[in-house]
Chain A
Amino acid sequence: METFVIGLSIASILFMVALGLAIIYGTMKVINLAHGEMVMIGAYVTVLATKHLGFNLYLCLPLAFLVTAGFGLVIERTVVRRLYGRLLDTLLATWGIALILQQLIRIHFGLGLFGIHIDGLGSDLQNVPVPAELQKTLYFLGANIPVYRAFIFMVALLLGAITWWLIYKTRFGSQLRAVSVARNTAAACGVNDKRVNMLAFAYGSGLAGIAGVLVSGFKTVSPDMGTPYVVDAFLVVVAGGVGHLVGTFISAGILGEVQSFVATWLNDVYGRTVLFAVVILILLFKPQGLFVSRSR
């Protein structure tokens, strides 16, 4: 049971990161390698806001969403927009952005050169205070469940629901779906596809930022913390079927649980190995991923 809950929390983080990635890839066919850095920025927003503004972890969730969405918006407008339809170029460009963002944190956004040091930035490890009520454990169905992990799961569910509503119930959502299926036709019908791209990129980045806030509570915050998440999130997106909300949800769940159970049974190294093996198997037998959007 404890193992299951740990798996759920791993899955929740994976889901939040992968969801943003799936939306971005689904809409504009851009593989965003800077996505992990959005997680990192979300975590640093938490560090800075708790240190300097006296925010608690809950308040950091919307704040980090806004800040990382802002970063996403800027990245889309300045770089990604100019590279549409050039998959390899966007891959390289976003990777470059990822490296730049890491170094910016290390050098205090360049202020370090002038001897200004902001407490909470730099290449040191950072930490975030977690509210006392989240540090407890709950006794539930014969198992001790860490409240923090349960909290992560709830946030992930909520974000999943909001995203579902956004994509399937709003005007923006139908435009988004239209653009991702047939960009030119949608544009011809009067959908401002550039605006849709921009907002999708910002929203996807924002989701990763929220994941960053949650991760900061139980992991080390450092400039290169984001990189492993891109890889994992990609596995989820690929295994779940590109551009498929339910697919991302279920594959995050499966991969999180696989990792957690194997890790408890053997250890984390085997957990990762089995995880990769499962993804390869899925791709061998279902090259399109577990779920295939019928529209294509």
Chain B
Amino acid sequence: MSHSRRTFMKTGALAAIGLAAPTILRLGGRAWAADEVPVGIMYSLTGTTAIVEKSMNQCAQMAIAEINAKGGVLGKKLRPIIEDPASEPRTYSEKARKLTIEDKVPVIFGCYTSASRKAVLPVVERRKGLLVWPTWYEGEECSKNVLYAGSAVPNQQLENSLPWLKKNLGRNKLFIVGSDYAFPRGMAKTSKTICKGIGMEVVGDEYLPLGHTEWASMVSKIGSSGADVIFSNVVGDSIVAFYRELRNQGYDFEKLPLCSSTTTEVEIKAMGPEYAKGSYVSLPYFQTVDTPQNKVFVEAFKAYAGPDAVTHAAMEAVYIGVHIWAMAAEKAGDVSPEAVVANAGGLSFDAPQGKVTIDAENLHTYLTPRIGKTRDDGLLDIVDQYPQPLLPLPYSGVGETADKRICTAKGATL
């Protein structure tokens, strides 16, 4: 017994040294070739949100390859360092720390959920790093270490869609349903402010936990609430169960229209297009956007990721983020976070969705609000779009307007 224990200890110690060796050898720090700029890419390749984030990772790599093919930034090639935060907010913050401290990257392209952004935020703020954040989110954030490139805020998804539902479909009684966390609650807050302004009645505002898949009671509650239109901020796996339950209980999107802020081409593909057919989505980008840039973008991505790949809003935002960052660094003549942030304001990029511009005050993006209607093949027909990009107002839920800004270059003043 004692013998075998000793052997165990020996092998254990050897194994420990073996495992530790690479770290010890690496202590000297990383030396990058002088003609390269390391950039962090941090989207989950495993875990619950991997389905969407995988395509965002591919899109970031594609955009970086495009930039490198044109000679890189300031004559230097971008070198992507890819980390997998595994859909865990805590891992996001660890990986962000690793990227900023150990790899010394001047920028991280990453995050998809608000929870992950909130986990990374303290890291980039304390270490004076930069996060380029892509996803549409609940707003009420005004960090100077985050470039909200391509990321829509509630006013850019709601200011167009709620009045449209009232005017074009003649709907007046809104039921807001969402997953229970910051984004859907923030969306509901802004929705209520807008509804008050246009005279729509909010008859329900309900939440179920993230990942909840038993929607029967909620759906029958929507039915008995007297609502004549649903606005959905349901996220992730739940979307599929929710849409399927609506169908099973005999709802028809022509009679009871549903508009979602979150259901992209990816989720529609996952649930089967016949379940989403006829429902609306409000986002700045759909695969069907008719611009020359988008044709090139869709073709390039299919060539990169395979012919079955779909493009979607979160992915397009990643694409915008990488390009805007490169333009800002080029303009500043420096890749450091402060220089990029100081020069990003006012920059425009011809994105697949059309022209996008970074607002100098709040570092958010002017985007073109669009409403899509789901068709048989799982893509969306665009039924409404703004003639030009709309000003981002991250604090619209608490009364921010174009004349009375809450988030300015100096930070948020509430």
Contacts and interface: CB of A to CB of B under 8 A. Distances in A.
A123 interface: yes
Contact of B217 (A135, A137, A264): A264
Contacts, number: 86
A137 B213 contact: no
Contact of B247 (A135, A222, A264, A271): A135
A219 B218 CA distance: 14
A220 B223 CA distance: 22
B240 to A, nearest CB: 4
Nearest to A139: B250
Interface string A130-160: 0000011100000010101100000000000
B248 A264 contact: no
A3 B180 CA distance: 23
B115 interface: no
Given A135-B248, A144-B250, A219 B241 contact: yes
A267 B249 contact: no
A263 B244 contact: no
Contact of B272 (A3, A129, A263): A129
Contact of A268 (B46, B50, B214, B270): B214
B250 A136 contact: yes
Contacts of B220: 2-3, 6, 264
Contacts of A251: none
Interface stretch (B23-31, B96-104, B121-129, B202-210): B202-210
B241 A269 contact: no
Contacts of B217: 3, 6, 260, 263-264, 267-268, 271
Contacts of B46: 123
Q: Which of B46, B50, B207, B216 has the most CB of A within 10 A?
A: B216
A146 B249 contact: yes
Contacts of A268: 208-209, 212, 214, 217-218
A129 B241 CA distance: 13
Nearest to B245: A218
A225 interface: yes
Interface in B192-241: 206-209, 212-214, 216-218, 220-221, 223, 237-238, 240-241
B213 A220 contact: yes
A127 interface: yes
Contact of A124 (B51, B213, B241): B51
B332 interface: no
A207 B247 CA distance: 27
Interface in A191-232: 217-220, 222, 225
Contact of B240 (A125, A129, A135): A125
B271 interface: yes
A144 B237 CA distance: 26
A239 interface: no
Given A2-B220, A125-B51, A137 B241 contact: no
A269 B209 contact: yes
Interface residues of A, number: 31
Nearest to A13: B214
A124 B270 contact: yes
Given A6-B220, A146-B249, A125 B237 contact: yes
A146 B218 contact: no
B242 to A, nearest CB: 10
Nearest to B237: A220
A3 B219 CA distance: 11
A87 to B, nearest CB: 28
Nearest to B240: A220
A85 to B, nearest CB: 26
Nearest to B212: A268
Contacts of B244: 127, 217-219
Contacts of B275: 127
A9 interface: yes
Contacts of A127: 240, 244, 270-272, 275
Contacts of A137: 249-250
A123 B44 CA distance: 13
A218 B207 contact: no
Given A220-B237, A220-B241, A267 B218 contact: yes
Nearest to B221: A264
A153 to B, nearest CB: 13
A7 to B, nearest CB: 9
A226 B284 CA distance: 36
Contacts of B238: 220
Contact of B241 (A135, A144, A218): A218
Contact of A125 (B180, B214, B270): B270
A218 B241 CA distance: 6
A267 B208 contact: yes
Contacts of B237: 125, 220, 222
Nearest to A144: B250
A232 to B, nearest CB: 10
A262 to B, nearest CB: 9
A148 B248 contact: yes
Nearest to A228: B213
Contacts of A219: 213-214, 240-241, 244
A146 B354 CA distance: 44
A10 interface: yes
A41 B271 CA distance: 19
Contact of B216 (A10, A123, A217): A10
A148 B244 CA distance: 11
A231 B214 CA distance: 15
A267 B207 contact: yes
Contacts of B223: 2
A217 B272 CA distance: 11
Contacts of B248: 135, 146, 148-149, 218
B48 to A, nearest CB: 8
A167 B212 CA distance: 35
Given A218-B244, A218-B245, 6 more contacts: A10-B216, A135-B248, A137-B249, A146-B249, A263-B216, A271-B217
5 contacts: A2-B249, A6-B217, A124-B51, A125-B271, A222-B237
Q: Which 9 A-B pairs have CB atoms at the shortest separation, nearest pair first? A: A137-B250, A263-B217, A125-B270, A6-B216, A220-B240, A127-B272, A219-B213, A146-B248, A220-B237
